[in-house]
Chain A
Amino acid sequence: MDYFAGVDIGSTMTKVVIMGEEEVVISLVRVTTPEQRKLANKVMEEALEKASLSFDEITYVIATGYGRINVAFADKQITEISCHARGVASLIPAVKTIIDIGGQDSKGIKLSGGKVVGFVMNDKCAAGTGRFLEITARALGVKLEEIGELSLTARNPAEISNTCTVFAEQEVINKLAGGVPLNDILAGLHQAIASRIASLVSRLGIEREVMVTGGGAKNVGLVKALESKLDLPVLIPPDPLLTGAIGAALLGRDLVKKAKNEGLPVTKRQRSLEEVKFFA
């Protein structure tokens, strides 16, 4: 039995998925810490243990995400664009546009026949990413997990003019002090981000079906605001954080299958799952 692993090291979360030839055996999500190399190992070890597998039983490992170069035990690195696309295509083949909203970046991916035909990224500016909401929520004294629901109760969404996070922080504090209801401010914030994300992804030409992945997908307020901005319904996968890792594992499976069909050896790295000491 072949097993395939996908390791997605994002800027905020690290995800590992191990799958067999047909289905996912185990998946894990852990917070990314600064020592990414060690962490990748640790999370992999934990996943293997939970799946009762040894590292040698894994036929192919693909690393993806922001920290993919730090996965010493991976056989190949593939960008999260290709991995998300693969993951989403396996879940719902009808998806043509993916909007991935992460902790520190956001991207749009255009698909045709399950393959990537275009992409856009914003990984420089906090506006349009989870970070923007994180900072403003903190400034408002609200828990990040609650802001989505709260924003939906707004009657009169506030107009937030600053997309620069630093300025936005000040702006929301001023508004709150000025008596604007909290849920209105939150709704305004969600709309501001949705606008930013929508115009970024619009560069690709948005086509249905649209799917949102990443941490942002778990925020109902953001999803609703996006739907409103795009004037289109938006799909959410069952595990929005895992599409990248699932895609990575699937791509590993695809590569091995292709190699077998063509009678070629599978290019693997000399790898072992040891603690990487020299970059401690």
Chain B
Amino acid sequence: MAEQKWPEKYPVEGKRGRKYGTVAAMRVAPMVKAAIGGAVEAKAQGKAIAYCFIESNYDEIIRAMDIVPMWTENYAGICGAKRDTQRFLDKADSLGFSRSLCTYATCGLGFDAWREELGSMPPEAPWGGQARPDVMLSSGQIICDPRNKWYQAVQQFMPDVPVYNCAALWPLYEDDIDRREVEPYYVKYLAEDLRGLVRFLEEHLHGKMDWDRLWEVIKLADETTDLHAECRELRKAVPTPMDTGDAMNTMVPQAFMMGTQEAHDFYRDLRDELKYKVERGLGVIPEEKYRLIWPGGLPSWFALMDFNYFWSKGAVFPVESTYNELVYPARELDLPRTDDPLEYMAWRWMRRQTYWWDKARKRPGSEPDVEKLITWIEEYKIDGVVIHEAYSCRSWHVGLLWQVNQLAKIYKPIPVLILKEDRKEVEYRELPSLVLESDMIDISSYSEAETRAKIDAFIETLESIKSRKVEV
């Protein structure tokens, strides 16, 4: 295939409804493809491969020990984007896994079981297939049962591959608990668990952790996160220089390459590009009418064109919560000093996960997730909320309805004039919201016609509110 030539300078003229593309976003797909192929090649060369889950607080450890990660959620997402999941989902079904389970997991399970049966990759496996691992690193955290059970289930087909189940948990927000009270024992557990992970990797992969190197990788990762956070800040501009549709691509280095120079340079380049656009007022679409927020939840990987549809109606998403959950600059976390890199990682994890606690406490009825929404709605000048309920993912989607309901209850920022008896009064309304439903990779659950109809109706609502909005 001919090498793609990147434009030397942005902006790049956009296609399908957008005015300007995001150069950085266009680099992502080849990066991912190279990583997937790279893993297969690395395996052939005898390098160590680990099945990994994103955002599990062990990226730097993997990179410092030169282990090649195989991100199984990512691979399932790729199958989804290529609309080649059915045969793997069917395989998992035939093995006795319910179709109501996380489709990332059932896709992965079906793929792996098939690969083990054949002794080689399933025919025409997307992008060369998923490399067979030497170890598998689970992480159920407190939000994802599949990530607690998936690799254990895979072991039935690969009993020679050991699993380490990482802690990576955090406290839930409570009214009567100050996070500073519980931090010490959480951090201790997280750090000890990471220590266990290092021992496990050393034992099974016969390497040795270079602690100095680990510190370097952590430093690089923190700088990368800082840059990524800056990118997000830049999207506050009106018009916004980048939208969620692209962010679903640009999150890749954060999620899959954290701790590498490549990820660092990527966000540096993205930051420069966004700065360039902001300085010149270059937005995503010709006429930005509505700014929307995506509070959480995974997109339909096979239907990312739905974002194009939003653009065609003048709607953009300057900010999303998905894949931004841990992107906070290190300086804002007020991290204690320590000589122990694992303890550092533990503190950083805790502080990232409890970032919004203190702020939430100041508003009655608020909770960290809701508080984050309110803050971003104001900072990014948001007009409406869109959530996507993926039917097979309880972890990221249960609670979205509650968030949106609670948001509507405690935050009513839109002033509209209403007629009361004989005079007009200003009443404050909550932001309008839209619920889309399908799945992240199982296309049989998706109806394009229905989705578009819902979006149309939502746009009408946004328009009607806009026309009734008053200046106060």
Q: In the complex, A166→B449 CA distance in Å?
A: 12
Complex interface residues of chain B between 179 and 233 (CB less than 8 A to chain A): none
Pick the contact of A199: B90, B444, B446, B450 (CB < 8 A): B90
Q: CB of B375 within 8 A of chain A? A: no
Q: How far is the CB of A43 from chain B (nearest CB, A)?
A: 37
Q: A163-B444, A164-B445, A170-B447 are in contact. Are A199 and B83 (CB under 8 A)?
A: no
Kindly list chain A residues whose C-beta atoms are within 8 Å of the C-beta of B95.
203
Q: Is the CB of B444 within 8 A of A161?
A: yes
SS class, residues of chain B in contact with chain A:
helix
Q: A161-B83, A195-B86 are in contact. Are A167 and B447 (CB under 8 A)?
A: yes
Q: CB of A202 within 8 A of chain B? A: yes
Central interface residue in B86, B91, B96, B450, by most chain A CB within 10 Å: B86
Task: For A206, give the chain B residue with the smallest CB separation.
Answer: B94
Kindly list chain A residues whose C-beta atoms are within 8 Å of the C-beta of B445.
164, 167
Q: CB of B443 within 8 A of chain A? A: yes
Q: Is the CB of B93 within 8 A of A203?
A: yes
Q: A161-B443, A164-B444 are in contact. Are A199 and B449 (CB under 8 A)?
A: no
Q: In the complex, A195→B94 CA distance in Å?
A: 11
Q: How far is the CB of B143 from chain A (nearest CB, A)?
A: 27
Task: For A173, give the chain B residue with the smallest CB separation.
Answer: B449
Kindly list chain A residues whose C-beta atoms are within 8 Å of the C-beta of B446.
161-162, 167
Q: Mark B360-387, 1 if CB is under 8 A from A, else 0.
A: 0000000000000000000000000000
Q: In the complex, A19→B14 CA distance in Å?
A: 74
Total interface residues on A, CB under 8 Å, equals: 17
Task: For A198, give the chain B residue with the smallest CB separation.
Answer: B90
Q: CB of A89 within 8 A of chain B? A: no
SS class, residues of chain A in contact with chain B:
helix
Q: How far is the CB of A247 from chain B (nearest CB, A)?
A: 26
Task: For A127, give the chain B residue with the smallest CB separation.
Answer: B444
Q: Mark A96-124, 1 if CB is under 8 A from B, else 0.
A: 00000000000000000000000000000
Q: Is the CB of A203 within 8 A of B90?
A: no
Q: CB of A174 within 8 A of chain B? A: yes
Q: How far is the CB of A108 from chain B (nearest CB, A)?
A: 10
Q: Is the CB of B93 within 8 A of A162?
A: no
Q: Is the CB of A199 within 8 A of B447?
A: no
Complex interface residues of chain B between 279 and 338 (CB less than 8 A to chain A): none
Kindly list chain B residues whose C-beta atoms are within 8 Å of the C-beta of A127.
444
Complex interface residues of chain B between 53 and 112 (CB less than 8 A to chain A): 83, 86, 90-91, 93-96
Q: How far is the CB of B300 from chain A (nearest CB, A)?
A: 12
Q: Is the CB of B444 within 8 A of A202?
A: no
Q: Is the CB of B447 within 8 A of A162?
A: yes
Q: In the complex, A200→B449 CA distance in Å?
A: 29
Task: For A163, give the chain B residue with the smallest CB separation.
Answer: B444
Kindly list chain A residues whose C-beta atoms are within 8 Å of the C-beta of B86.
161, 195
Central interface residue in A161, A166, A171, A195, by most chain B CB within 10 Å: A161
Q: Mark B238-280, 1 if CB is under 8 A from A, else 0.
A: 0000000000000000000000000000000000000000000
Q: Is the CB of B443 within 8 A of A199?
A: no
Q: Mark A149-172, 1 if CB is under 8 A from B, else 0.
A: 000000000000111101100110
Q: Is the CB of B444 within 8 A of A200?
A: no
Q: In the complex, A202→B113 CA distance in Å?
A: 14
Q: In the complex, A161→B93 CA distance in Å?
A: 17
Q: A164-B444, A195-B86 are in contact. Are A203 and B96 (CB under 8 A)?
A: yes
Q: Is the CB of B96 within 8 A of A199?
A: no
Q: Is the CB of B94 within 8 A of A174?
A: no
Q: In the complex, A161→B449 CA distance in Å?
A: 14
Q: Is the CB of B449 within 8 A of A170?
A: yes
Q: Mark B441-459, 1 if CB is under 8 A from A, else 0.
A: 0011111011000000000
Central interface residue in B83, B444, B447, by most chain A CB within 10 Å: B444
Kindly list chain B residues whose C-beta atoms are within 8 Å of the C-beta of A199.
90-91, 93-94
Kindly list chain B residues whose C-beta atoms are within 8 Å of the C-beta of A171.
447
Q: In the complex, A240→B145 CA distance in Å?
A: 44
Kindly list chain B residues whose C-beta atoms are within 8 Å of the C-beta of A203.
93-96
Task: For A162, give the chain B residue with the smallest CB separation.
Answer: B444
Task: For A199, give the chain B residue with the smallest CB separation.
Answer: B90
Q: How far is the CB of B116 from chain A (nearest CB, A)?
A: 16
Q: How far is the CB of A6 from chain B (nearest CB, A)?
A: 32
Kindly list chain A residues whose C-beta atoms are within 8 Å of the C-beta of B449.
170, 174
Q: In the complex, A174→B447 CA distance in Å?
A: 11
Q: In the complex, A138→B445 CA distance in Å?
A: 21
Kindly list chain B residues whose C-beta atoms are within 8 Å of the C-beta of A202.
90, 93-94
Q: How far is the CB of A133 from chain B (nearest CB, A)?
A: 16
Q: In the complex, A196→B93 CA distance in Å?
A: 9
Q: In the complex, A160→B446 CA distance in Å?
A: 12
Q: In the complex, A202→B95 CA distance in Å?
A: 8
Complex interface residues of chain A between 180 and 224 (CB less than 8 A to chain B): 195-196, 198-200, 202-203
Q: A-B pairs with the 7 shortest C-beta distances?
A: A202-B94, A199-B90, A163-B444, A167-B447, A161-B443, A199-B93, A199-B94
26 sampled A-B residue pairs with Cβ under 8 A:
A127-B444, A161-B444, A162-B446, A163-B444, A166-B447, A167-B444, A167-B445, A167-B447, A167-B450, A170-B447, A170-B449, A170-B450, A171-B447, A195-B90, A196-B90, A198-B94, A199-B90, A199-B91, A199-B94, A200-B93, A202-B90, A202-B94, A203-B93, A203-B94, A203-B95, A203-B96
User: Besides A161-B83, A199-B93, 13 other CB < 8 A contacts?
Assistant: A161-B443, A162-B446, A162-B447, A164-B445, A166-B447, A167-B444, A167-B445, A167-B450, A170-B449, A195-B90, A196-B90, A199-B94, A200-B93
